[in-house]
Amino acid sequence: MVSFLKSFAGVTDLSPDARVQVFRSFFSAPGEFDNLSVDAYVVITERCVVFCDTLLCPEDMRLVCEALSDDVMKGKQLLVIYSHADWDHVWGTHYLLERYTPVIIGHEHCRTRLLSVEEKRLLHEYQENFAVFRPVVLVPPAITFRDGLNIYGGDLTLELFSAPGHQMDQIAGWIPEIQLLLAFDALEYPLPGIGAPELVLDMFRTLERFRELQPTCVLCSHGNMASPLLIEQNSRYLREIESRSRALLARQLVSEDEMAEPAQLIGYSYAEATGVVREQIDHVYYEYTHAENIRCMLRWLLSMAT
């Protein structure tokens, strides 16, 4: 067993509308997680209550349900939306299944991932290390989509659409009535994470689609941010990686061995990429993500050159 700190909070100063509530789970474990913080949303419409992600563990969802006032769910269809299959977004579902009968919706590839041996292995590993994950059960979505799916709640519409880049199964949600974009992990503060070299182009396209929506408010799962400026900031960061990677490859070829220190290789340090970080974030994770982003970009550019 590894020692850890786990906490939970309702977040009242991010959402622009009382019908979209934000809940946050925190997890710290020495050497592994330095204050990981993840947000989930509950969208309360006339016809249905939509849980957008289920946080880290069933206990988190118990606290979410407790925080919602009693009659919020009464007589309404309960839906669960998975933003993608990463563990920090979908491991709390079992609590809802034990008490209610929600319909679970996600991308087709999210279902594939949640049924995979890799995700089972990951859960097993976490359960061995941390008692808090013992009650977790992997629950794949029952309804899946590839491009998009609309939920008509009456007063609010939730337009779900594929937003690949961070992961292939990443989706985002757009609520046109209040011009709110739920970006989940497709945007991130201080920097986004590209899932694989073949997702680089998807990432740029997803950010372009976000820009075209012209949201007045953007919520993302990590980083305590709600500003639409994050779309520009994330795009600029990725374009910077692209241009410095292209400049390097114009000068020399790069082997896999040389990618051990990618930030140094293209001359774009973590400190320069993030600037002044106002929030308490997991710097170990983001420094690793910055290095991985550069590797993805270099591998993608190299694959196009051959």
Segment 150 to 169, residues that bind Zn ion, using CB under 5 A: none
The nearest distance, CB 103 to Zn ion, in angstroms, is 23
Residue placing its CB nearer to Zn ion in the complex, 220 or 298? 220
Segment 184 to 223, residues that bind Zn ion, using CB under 5 A: 185
The nearest distance, CB 185 to Zn ion, in angstroms, is 4
The nearest distance, CB 76 to Zn ion, in angstroms, is 27
Instruction: Give the range of 68-76, 102-110, 134-142, 181-189 binding Zn ion by CB under 5 A.
Output: 181-189
Question: Contacts from 23-29 at CB under 8 Å and sequence distance 24+?
Answer: 23/55, 23/60, 23/63, 23/64, 23/67, 25/55, 25/56, 25/57, 25/60, 25/88, 27/56, 27/88, 27/132, 28/4, 29/2, 29/3, 29/4, 29/5, 29/129, 29/130
Instruction: Give the range of 1-9, 88-96, 175-183, 259-267 binding Zn ion by CB under 5 A.
Output: 88-96
The nearest distance, CB 66 to Zn ion, in angstroms, is 23
Contact status: 88 vs Zn ion (CB under 5 A): yes
Segment 48 to 87, residues that bind Zn ion, using CB under 5 A: 86
Residue 259: which residues within 8 A CB-CB, separation 6 or more?
Answer: 265, 294, 295, 298
The nearest distance, CB 88 to Zn ion, in angstroms, is 5
DSSP string spanning 140-157? Answer: --SEEESSEEEEE-SS-E
Give the tokens for residue 229. Answer: 């400026």
Segment 264 to 293, residues that bind Zn ion, using CB under 5 A: none
Q: How far apart are CA 97 and CA 66, in angstroms?
A: 15
Q: For binding to Zn ion (CB under 5 A), which residues are involved?
A: 86, 88, 185
